[in-house]
Amino acid sequence: MSHRPGKEVQITGTEASVGSLTPSNRIEYKAVQWIHESCRRMSAVAFNDFDHFEDYIAVAGGYQVTCYMLLTSDDCAFTKFTMPSYFDEDKNESFYAVSWARQGMNGFPMIVAGGLNGILRVIEFDDRKESHSLTFDKTLVGHEGAVNEIKPYLFALPLVLSASKDVNPMDTDWIISSGADKTIKIWSLKEHRVFVKESSKWTGEASNFPTKYVSSPMYEVSLGADYVDCNRFSYDGDMLFSQSNGKPNIVKKFPVPESGPPCKFSCNMEDKVAIGNKKGQIYVWNFKSSPPELIAILSDPDSKTTITQTAMTRDGRVIFSINEKGVIIRWNDTTLEQTKSIIYQLIHKLKVIN
């Protein structure tokens, strides 16, 4: 499925190309760190996709939001706790989604979290401060039910999209949503851009802003399956992933044994998708190949609990997973290090021979 302006949106093919469950293992991932959060059930993790802050991740669950910093040197490729957690004033809150946003086009990042209470908490993040703390900034209201997904609108960084059904904005004009009605809907922002522009200039009370309510999508397709619990566009916009009953599929299908409760999967900017299951395993697929290539199956003998979400760096070399027991695991691509080791050994042998 394509979502680029000027192209017809369509589903092609009648027989899906199904990937083999035999991994190629051409890329090897290794678990390098385990972080046990005080909050029992972690629900969301998000990388900061903004320049100069890509080495930070936000993790949310219960009424807590925590920020970590990635250390990327070869000798210390771990994650460091950077600042005290944010604890919501309502201890009955349960955050289901977390995302990053920005204060204006050139401002510092913000963290936005939402969940059970149907409101968004905007949390200030500024690592220049001596306290290095996450501080409450404001509350955003408007949802009548729980917030299940939050995404930054990458083409207008101060704009954040939230939904009670999963949403994945990856184009200047279109938004994708899905949910309990077993459908995927594509919504157009093209004719409503004036409201986005006016909102940035609005100086009156926020409640008085002439909000535009859009009731009809530009495209809708019924999958005839169960609740569609997650959707993602690939970064190049050529593929739309949807997940129903824990089994993600597009025109190509990516089998994931032991699928259980909904797991929010993740894509990188090139060709990988990471999908968790109820056994604590992560299936890493190459979605550009046909049929899909199972690159690797990640598993940890001490963590066999349902994966609630995964997150990948842009290059796909680092994967984070969180499970319902509150354990965060960092997985590193060790292929480059192994290649360096082999080259070093060859150089050493050549020196010995000479």
Domain extents for the chain?
18-177+226-353
Per-residue pLDDT, averaged over 112-125, amounts to 92
Q: Is the pLDDT of residue 290 over 90?
A: no
The side-by-side arrangement of strands in the sheet containing 282-286 is 266-267, 272-276, 282-286, 293-298
Tell me, what's the pLDDT at 315?
A: 85
Map tokens 């890329």 to a residue.
Answer: 27
- Which of 156-160, 165-169, 180-184 shows the lowest mean pLDDT across its residues? 165-169
- Give alpha helix (H) positions in the chain: 193-201, 335-353
pLDDT for position 6:
35
Residues ≥6 apart with Cβ < 8 Å to 40: 61, 62, 324, 325, 326
Within 10 A of 307 (CB to CB), how many other CB atoms are there? 27
Contact 9, 2 (CB under 8 A): yes
pLDDT tens profile 98-107: 998 887 666 7
Q: How far, CA to CA in Å, does 244 sit from each of 43, 103, 117, 180, 224?
A: 18, 35, 25, 10, 10
Torsion of CA 150, 116, 103, 65, to 10 degrees: -100
Please tell me which of 1-10, 89-98, 204-213, 214-223 the model is most confident about, judged by mean pLDDT. Answer: 89-98
Instruction: Identify the CATH number of the domain defined by range 18-177+226-353.
Output: 2.130.10.10
pLDDT of 21 higher than 70: yes
